[in-house]
Structure 1
Amino acid sequence: MTTSTTPAPVPFTARDFEARRARVVAAAAEAGLGGVLVAPGPDLVWLTGYRPTAITERLTLLVLTSDREPALLVPTLERPDAEAAEGTSSLDILDWPDGADPYRVAGTLLPSEGEFGVSDSAWALHLLGLQDQAPKSRYRALTRSLPMLRAVKDANELGRLAAAGAAADRTYTEVIRLRFAGRRETEVAADLAALLREFGHEQVDFTVVGSGPNGANPHHEAGERVIRPGDAVVLDFGGLMYGYGSDTTRTVCVGVPTPQVQRVHDIVRGAQQAAFEAVRPGVACQEIDRVARAFIAEAGYGERFIHRTGHGIGVTTHEPPYMVEGEEQPLVPGMCFSIEPGVYLTGRFGVRIEDIVTVTDEGGRRFNNTDHALQIVE
């Protein structure tokens, strides 16, 4: 039973999924692709609402080309589930029974040659099977060929991301009321997971709790270390709510921080704010990274900022666009991504502050709004 006070969003309709598929076909043609092949994973969910109960060696494939109606190929035993999904009513659904050759069926849906975009989650087993049927075909990963496919969110998607962000904020507000000192990182991580679910998340993807020297590892898995007075503790957590992601980070201190912890936190806080203020339509993604990195470098900790400034978020918690040097894609209203600079001092502590942000016509809007100040916990 959830205690979320956020009303459930309006369900996506069959027309929403049809519009997405049409958008993909048009984008594929503009990119010089003969079509798009979508395997089970986030792209399939976004395009059809269908999430197979189990991803196995059995071929499931959505085929989108400009010369025929969209088709979904599924194992016979999974056809009822595919037909029940909210976005498949206008699809041509074909099935194949165990013992049959699914690639022969798939081959009838594809031109004999051409270049196709393929969802990143496709198995090599299936691509090789398709190549046997169409040896002149070639494949490009969707992240490279159509990187902005899901990047710009509509109003319904933005509402879901905002709800997920608000639930993550409530989680942080509650967890800092609990005791940290004398407890293991895994215990605090369990609190975070329970609170995310309590406030409406149907899926918890990660609960990073990096105390003391463990905080210097950006992707530290919560372990058995006992949190001590004086520790800086990095809390990075998120998951899916209404099918869309949350991801936020705050760094807290158990008791009074040392001058160095406070200084580093102030630097990271300033970098995060500067990067947020740089968000506006038309600015290249890499510029957000440059602003945050320049702020930290000027303070003398440039070599201690060891990851990109941000990543896109939507039906997965990491997806394009990425706020990183070399990403020249301009920001567009409706894009959603993290801004999460950090400083990591090996063997001592780390500090990271992260919000999910969306681009508006005027600039940026945060989906995480808890205080950025260094919170003192017990």
Structure 2
Amino acid sequence: MAHLVEVAFKGNRKEFFLWDYPDAPPLNAAVIVDVDRGEDLGFIHALGDLAQKRNGGCAHGCGTSLPDRKALRLATARDRLQSDELKRLNEEARRKAMERVRANGLGMKLSDAEWQWDRKKLTLYFTADKRVDFRNLVRDLASLFRTRIELKQIGVRDEAKRLDGVGRCGRRYCSASWLPELRPVNLGVAKDQRLSLNPSQISGACGRLMCCLRYEHEFYVQSRRRFPKEGRVVATSLGEEKVVAIDIFHERVTLRTVEGEARTLTLAEFTSEVGSGPGPEEVAVHAEEEHPAEAIASDEISPELLYTAEHPIFSSRSAELIPENPAPSDASAADAASRRRRGRRGGRRGRSGTDDSGATGPQ
């Protein structure tokens, strides 16, 4: 029975293959695999039940089906030596390709170069702010390296995943170590957690919002559903009080009376204070209906984040209230119909001949 294995290549690139031998290969063993028009060398990253699970959940997996390509054999010492030599050739190829990019005047940055193990293909990864026409560059590189050239445009987060590094937490990048999929992160995630919108505090090495901002976001969303919305006026035993702040970790609600006196209650005390009025869950629902979630205005965001956030900046409310094509009133519709009728009659008079007074007569 064939074994399903996950093989890792240069730049944290991973693919699934079938190991068509009775005994499974050891973990982290170097293997030669079958790839498009040749062979490549990689290392066993996962096998067995873990490989089956990752095959169905990772973006590079095959889902419920099995991969078509196979891992051919274990790599020999000579194969490993050839792979080590390619590390030097990869950097040399990237520098030469960058020279050709500057010669062609293209607005792109070559991030990485990867030779296939049999040197039948050279893959170049680049980032660019917009689409780049690199057809002439491909021809130049093909004549320079005498091999098959493949150019792949990637995003800045994928670039950080390929190049790897250490984040501000002191640990390896999540995208390069364990994160199976790079999901988008927007400013609403940071705002829900009451984080600073300063880009130096919530941005990663790639310049985008950190992936780890999503890890606890669901906890904040679920916890706040038990509390009233901040700014909501509720009826308590002391009269009308305004919800000033909430503490989801200690389950506290801070209220302020009309006279300006503030007090802090636990969530259980707040629920009993409200009495027969709407509970905290109902209050939160009503608050969201009467005061919908505010869009993130551009003046609340640091200028740097306007270009690093992976979500569109919403327009102002005044622009949303003005319809693009307002419906015409009954009076205006009647006037327009009358003008159209007069125009048609005038056109017929003009064809039959008219004088200055508008009377018709023989030609």
Query: TM-score w.r.t. structure 1 length?
Result: 0.22
Query: Could you say which structure has the higher helix fraction?
Result: 2
Of structures 1 and 2, the larger Rg is shown by 2
Higher relative contact order (CA 8 A, sep 6+): 1
Query: TM-score w.r.t. structure 2 length?
Result: 0.22
